[in-house]
Amino acid sequence: MKKILYYVNQFFGQIGGEDQAHIAPVYKKEAVGPAMGFAKMLEGEAEIIGTLICGDNFFNEHNEEALAFIKDINEQEKPDIVVAGPAFNAGRYGVACAGVAEFFALEAGIPVVTGMYEENPGLEACRGISYVVPTTDSAGGMRKALPTMAKIAVKLAKGEEPVAEEDGFFLRGIRETVFSDKIGSERAVEMLLKRLRGEEFETELPMPEFDNVEPAHAIADMSKAVIALVTTGGIVPHGNPDHIQSASAQKWGKYDVSKLEMLKGDYETIHGGYDPVYANEFPDRVAPLDQLVHLKKEGAIGDVYKYFYTTTGTGTAVGNSRKFGQEIGKELKEAGVDGVILTST
């Protein structure tokens, strides 16, 4: 019987919520949380030998230490299959599952099964090296995700190769050599003719879909315009009073800068995706309030909006980014702001 090692975060490991995201990895020689339900779906082909539990913050902030622990457990238990998550749309959890997948799939050569929402930042990192089942954006989709993940694990336990179209996981982007009765030009012409006739056809090279955003009209008179400053560079007041995440942000902050001429002295960066030294030395390098105030004094713009908006962009899900933009945009429009300087890193 094949041995399955299961990985979960502190919440699904039944240790605690955000207040326990700092916990170091622990190993329990039993099925914990979703692993309990998963174990019932293995059709006698495999068994859960234990559950790895690690806090989301710990894994992302102490990655080497977390992986060292996981490597030791791998040496002790020698699993045949690893299951992680599902992480749904939890960004830090998804990134941790991707880190687990990278070690087991690439270094240990052990197949990994996980589950994520399509906008989880961990998806792109592990879809090509593991079997990632599409999930809903919240844990409410657990009952649907686990059977699909278990089906793939059972196939792996039997020595069979899972197929995306049959077994329901994201395409892995792996190109394989296959044989066809027709050469490429014939297949291409057949697809073209089907398209011209309005018939159904399946492309051999699916293309990504991109959002199209229509640009706003130009500002007619900049000398009268109210300009707001927004950044995804993680610039926050000292101490990060609203506890904005350093990566995979779940929130944004809004701060009154009407009495400031620069951010230096009152602000710092908490962004986890770049070297903070120069930003902490002079935060206006990332969010140039000093330059906006200068432009106001020169008469180049009418005014600087009194509130400054900030979050972190690294690892933040597209869904959250869109949500942040809609919320901030609504406030700015209602306040009569004419334009926005949006900076990144």
To the nearest whole number, what is the mean pLDDT of the chain? Answer: 93
The model's pLDDT over 104-115, given as tens digits with 9 standing for 90+, comes to 999 999 999 999
* pLDDT at residue 79 tops 90: yes
User: Two tokens at 328?
Assistant: 């901030």
DSSP 216: P
Closest CA to 107 of 143, 136, 82, 132: 82
Query: Which tens digits make up the pLDDT trace of 329-338?
Result: 999 999 999 9
206-220 pLDDT per residue, tens:
776 777 788 889 999
pTM of the complete model? 0.62
pLDDT surpassing 80 at residue 95 = yes
Cβ atoms < 10 Å from Cβ of 117:
23
Q: How confident is the model at residue 50 (pLDDT cuts 50, 70, 90)?
A: very high
Which domains does the chain possess? Answer: 2-161 (3.40.50.2300), 222-343 (no CATH)
Pair of tokens at residue 158? 């039997």
What is the per-residue pLDDT across 235-255, written as a single tens digit (0 to 9) for each? 999 999 999 999 888 899 999
Decide the pairing of beta strands 26-28 and 46-54.
antiparallel
